[in-house]
Structure 1
Amino acid sequence: MERNRFGADPAYLLVCLVLLGALLLSLLAAVSFGTVSIPLGQVYEVILEELRAMLPGGTASAGGSVRDVVWLIRLPRLVLAVGVGMALSVCGAVMQAIVKNPLADPYVLGVSSGAYLGASLAMLLGLGGLLGGSAMGVLGCAGALLVSLGVMALANLGGRSNAVKLLLAGTALSAVCSGFSNFFIFLLNDDHAASAVVQWSMGSLAAADWGSNAVIVTVAVLSTLFFWTQYRNLNLMLLGDDCAITLGTDLHRWRLIYLTVAAVMVGFAVYKAGLIGFVGLLIPHVVRMLFGTDHKKLIPISALLGAIFLVWADVLCRVVLPGNELPIGVLTALVGAPVFVYLMARKKYGFGGGD
């Protein structure tokens, strides 16, 4: 593996601490931005009051419009942005290693198309009465997970799976799911339902709440820690199966385990935030340019940088159009695409392995 430009491990640890501090500061600063501007002093008063109320013997906080905006609307969606940004960035790095393709992201193996198919079915079958407002999210999550399992099963037909077979299976199932989604929307012939599915597919953090945030952030953090411990196998995946076997490691079983864990991470993110593209593609590439391809550094830094990126992306979504909210998936594509093109235009860049 190539040496990163920051050299020694102390510099890497320092950057991790700086990014962690930047994430906490970003959360505190971003709460004050929105359609209604709230002074930082009032924001911190509300947060401290709510935290004191959680302590043993604490008294319930006083209500009020400022408290509702800060504690029930803005802060939950920013915490959701942390969990989703972390999940998508880490999954992007892992997916790129699994399929040994620098253009891979969390949705490359059919996950996004499976989620879109699930959301379409939720509207077509009218499951809103049964599952409430979460119908599209629940079936979108289920679709993402089922398609990921289907990709693994298809890639194992006719022999053991490898990076190429996983990529081809994902491309095939992605096309099938997209076709069925459009077919069902066409059969439904309901402009309102079609508009709802399309809007959900563009992503939003507006449905955030503390209960689901606790689950999503926990899954994202635990999965990130798991992948962090697997950095040696992820590094070997960039070298290829033949090289890994000569070193005494069979990557087949690990590749399926990693894909399953990544699918769970993306499934939870899709459930609450819809489809948010480009985060899992852009963030790992930025980190590779600064720190090299070693997943021991790539995984934690991608998690922190992805969380920070999505926090400020959510802020921009709320302020760029006065009186309206821009879908966060649209913003990440508009910001991410030009940056990614610039990164790819640079001459000194390597994906890893034999590159």
Structure 2
Amino acid sequence: MGLSTVGFTTVLIVLLALLVFSVLASITFGNADLSVKEVYSVVAYELFHIRKFSDFAEGAVHDVVWIIRFPRVILALCVGMGLAVCGVVMQAVVKNPLADPYVLGISSGASLGATIGVLFGFGALFGANSVGVMAFLGAMGTSFLVLFIANIGGRSNAGKLILAGMAVSSVCSAIGNFAIYIVNNKNATSEIMFWTMGSLAGAKWQRVGVLLPVVFIGTLIFWSQFRNLNLMLLGDEASITLGTDLHRARNLYMILSSLMVGFAVYAAGTIGFVGLIVPHAVRMIFGTDHRRLVPLCALVGAIFLIWADVGCRVILKNSEMPIGILVSIIGAPCFIYLMVRRSYGFGGGRG
């Protein structure tokens, strides 16, 4: 189904309003029993420095809202936006509706990096962020390896990228499992398992300050490349016929996507399904044009992960569910539903 310019603008404004509402509403949820007035008093003071709320400039309420909850919500926004946008791009790059940021080995590479960091202490020079940084390096290294393999024996194409990603993913998983087996450290294994389930609990303003510009700039870049992304759905032969060679663009998009996913993994661990479900749902409703698909997926992905994180905080009393578990519980049935819909097809056409 197509979308007129006026319709697209209306949907964009509604989603932006819903995103702002989601951010403001989600910070009122948590295990700490705070009133809505206390929460927004802290936010009003920190954002606008209103003297009326100076009593909330410090103290336990201030710390819960401004140091714990608010950066966590913004981190959920960044991670959700980044994963959804990268999912759209990956599906176009490999011309496969089942692709997401993790199909091409990025998830396994990140997990391998985290495993090495925890088990062998590599990356200790990065201090408290060592596991996240090693995961980021693993994701980036895996992406470059996939590109290198896909270009062996000729220029890469969608099929070669998928096969290279599957092969590298299998190797990374095997190496990681082997490392866990030979070290046999139960504490380290538990830490690795918790990290690979994904969590936003470690959110800090410093981490948000790094991730936010990366995701925002990356999203704008991909939005500007909507013509090439649309051409990728037609295939290499059709694009060459139209006078555009997508080989270089495909490699650049892979690298930029890996950069965004690597930072998301560094900040929140491994969270699956966002880059798969959100593009599917948005494409079915609003059509296939990436000029509209990219910004809409960015907003929907951000909103989705914000509320998923709220669920993680409130489902279990005095505890927290890893967000990767909840997203998978939500995502798997939704994905099955999308797949069995007779009206579904890659690009929104009938299957």
Normalising by structure 1, report the TM-score: 0.95
Report the 3-state secondary structure (helix = DSSP H, G, I; strand = E; otherwise coil) of the residue aligned with 1:109: coil
Please state if 1:11 is matched with 2:7: yes
Q: Distance in 2 between matches of 1:186 and 1:289?
A: 43
Superposed displacement of residue 78, structure 1? 0.5
Residue 102 of structure 1 contacts residue 351 of structure 1 at CA under 8 Å; is this kept in 2? yes
Match of 1:122 in 2: 117
Question: Among 191, 194, 200, which residue is 1:196 paired with?
Answer: 191
Residue 39 of structure 2 contacts residue 65 of structure 2 at CA under 8 Å; is this kept in 1? yes
Question: Among 36, 40, 43, which residue is 1:40 paired with?
Answer: 36
Match of 2:291 in 1: 296
Residue 53 of structure 1 contacts residue 61 of structure 1 at CA under 8 Å; is this kept in 2? no
Instruction: Give the length in aligned residue pairs.
Output: 349
**1:183 and 1:74, CA in 2 relative to 1: closer, same or farther beyond 3 A?**
same
Output one character per residue of 1:68-126: Cα deviation in whole Å (capped at 9) or x when no partner. Answer: 11000011010000000000000001000011111001011100000011011101222
1:98-109 aligned within 5 A: 98-109=93-104
Report the 3-state secondary structure (helix = DSSP H, G, I; strand = E; otherwise coil) of the residue aligned with 2:300: helix
Output one character per residue of 1:235-293: Cα deviation in whole Å (capped at 9) or x when no partner. Answer: 11111000000000000000000000000000000001000000000000000111111
Report the 3-state secondary structure (helix = DSSP H, G, I; strand = E; otherwise coil) of the residue aligned with 2:209: helix
**Letter of the 1:43 counterpart:** V
Output one character per residue of 1:321-350: Cα deviation in whole Å (capped at 9) or x when no partner. Answer: 111100000000000111111122211122
Question: Among 46, 51, 62, which residue is 1:50 paired with?
Answer: 46
1:279-318 aligned within 5 A: 279-318=274-313
Residue 117 of structure 2 contacts residue 124 of structure 2 at CA under 8 Å; is this kept in 1? no
Superposed displacement of residue 54, structure 1? 10
Q: Distance in 2 between matches of 1:319 and 1:191?
A: 29
Residue 53 of structure 1 contacts residue 60 of structure 1 at CA under 8 Å; is this kept in 2? no
Please state if 1:340 is matched with 2:329: no
Q: Distance in 2 between matches of 1:234 and 1:52?
A: 41
Question: Among 143, 150, 158, which residue is 1:148 paired with?
Answer: 143
Match of 2:83 in 1: 88
Output one character per residue of 1:161-220: Cα deviation in whole Å (capped at 9) or x when no partner. Answer: 000000000000000000000011111110000110011000000111111102201111
Report the 3-state secondary structure (helix = DSSP H, G, I; strand = E; otherwise coil) of the residue aligned with 2:175: helix
**Letter of the 1:95 counterpart:** M
Please state if 1:25 is matched with 2:13: no
**1:73 and 1:160, CA in 2 relative to 1: closer, same or farther beyond 3 A?**
same
Q: Distance in 1 between matches of 2:252 and 2:59?
A: 47
Please state if 1:278 is matched with 2:235: no
Please state if 1:160 is matched with 2:155: yes
Output one character per residue of 1:38-87: Cα deviation in whole Å (capped at 9) or x when no partner. Answer: 222211110011123499xx989631111111000011010000000000
Q: Aligned Cα RMSD in Å?
A: 1.8
**Letter of the 1:123 counterpart:** V
Q: Distance in 1 between matches of 2:96 and 2:256?
A: 19
Q: Distance in 2 between matches of 1:143 and 1:283?
A: 25
**Letter of the 1:13 counterpart:** T
Q: Distance in 1 between matches of 2:225 and 2:345?
A: 21
Residue 283 of structure 2 contacts residue 348 of structure 2 at CA under 8 Å; is this kept in 1? no
Question: Among 328, 346, 349, which residue is 2:323 paired with?
Answer: 328
Please state if 1:71 is matched with 2:84: no
Match of 2:259 in 1: 264
Instruction: Identify unmatched segments of 5+ residues in structure 1.
Output: none
Residue 239 of structure 1 contacts residue 353 of structure 1 at CA under 8 Å; is this kept in 2? no
Q: Distance in 1 between matches of 2:284 and 2:277?
A: 11
Please state if 1:224 is matched with 2:211: no
Normalising by structure 2, report the TM-score: 0.96
Output one character per residue of 1:306-327: Cα deviation in whole Å (capped at 9) or x when no partner. Answer: 0000000000000001111000
Moved more, 341-350 or 77-86: 341-350
Q: Distance in 2 between matches of 1:60 and 1:221?
A: 34
Residue 287 of structure 2 contacts residue 348 of structure 2 at CA under 8 Å; is this kept in 1? no
Q: Distance in 2 between matches of 1:282 and 1:291?
A: 14
Please state if 1:249 is matched with 2:244: yes
Q: Distance in 1 between matches of 2:169 and 2:72?
A: 29
